[in-house]
Amino acid sequence: MLRAMKAEIQLRKGELQNKNLKSLYFGGGTPSILSVDEINSLIDEVLHHFSFEKDIEITLEANPDDLDKNFLKQLAGTPVNRLSIGTQSFFEEDLKLMNRAHTASEAEGSIKRAQDFGFENLSIDLIYGSPTSNLEIWKENLHKTIALEVPHISSYALTVEPKTALENWISKGKVKSPREEEQNREFYYLSDFLKDNGFEHYEVSNFAKPGFYSRHNSAYWKYQEYLGIGPSAHSYNGLDVRSWNVANNQQYIKKLNEKLLAKEEEILSPEDQFNEMIMIGLRTIWGVGMKSLKEKFNDRFLEHFNNETKQKIADGILIVENDHLKIPEKHWFMADGIASDLFLV
């Protein structure tokens, strides 16, 4: 797999216009199962073909149970300077429901150990709206997070995916289905609590202390180009081409062994580009730039945009600030639904 990923980097080195990288992200599953030597070898391969900005953000997604002292000690000697830890919850019942391998004590311990080895730029994932939780437990989760001095939090409502153990348990009545009204209440408590503790709510699901916004994810949300390497990885040229690699590991490796790319691509129609700009922009504090819309789209799009936004602006569901269309934060829980109302189909 590592040889195939290096071969893909070599084959695709010409796809990025900007060869000076400002972020590198090891994600998409469990990259923390790699050895530190393997992580370094992938970074070295990237450096053969690209340069790094002096303050490049290099993130490693990690499971709490992978972050033992030996691994962290070695990792601290690499260029990796940010960890995104899949904590999910500090409560055992939540973790069991989500089928997580780590325990509540490992969730807390992994954060403290990472900090002990100099990793201050930490992000953790937290899940709210679980049937095993309630508002009081959720408050305790957040108080624990503040006490641990984590500067970035990504938080999502628990969703029930098809053909999962959770769906099966719910269908058999073993656990209750998540309730939207409870998730709504926990979402707004999350937002208010974190803002009271110095966080900025900069994307619907993301909160950061000043200076700790995810540089990598912010590039997605600002429609910048990115290159994804490995099975299932997605890429975007910043304009109208999106591509994705095959998900099957063996097919991916076979193609790259033959010096062939294992990817498909699509040309985004003007409608696709318009809808994505609306969807992504309205999930952030930056909103959708009216100037960008006028430069990028013709009168048909702009007329549709004006017709669809007029009443929502009058009702206060949308606002215009500094020539940017935004959703007021009090309506962010419904951001995706509000954005989809503006789509051109």
CA atoms within 13 A on the CB side of 50: 26
pTM (two decimals): 0.92
Read off the pLDDT of each residue in 289-296 and give the average, rounded to a whole number. Answer: 93
Question: pLDDT tens across 317-336, in order?
Answer: 999 999 999 999 999 989 99
Question: pLDDT tens across 115-174, in order?
Answer: 999 999 999 999 999 888 899 999 999 999 999 999 999 999 988 778 777 667 677 777
> Which residue's entry shows tokens 């995916």?
161
Q: Alpha helix locations (H) across 151-298?
A: 165-171, 180-196, 215-221, 249-257, 270-281, 290-296
Contact 42, 27 (CB under 8 A): no
16, 41, 73, 215 from 70: Cα distances, Å: 36, 19, 5, 28
Which domains, from first to last, does the chain contain?
18-221 (3.30.750.200), 223-267 (no CATH), 270-341 (no CATH)
Please state, rounded to an integer, the average pLDDT across all residues of the chain. 93
Percent share of the chain, pLDDT over 90: 83
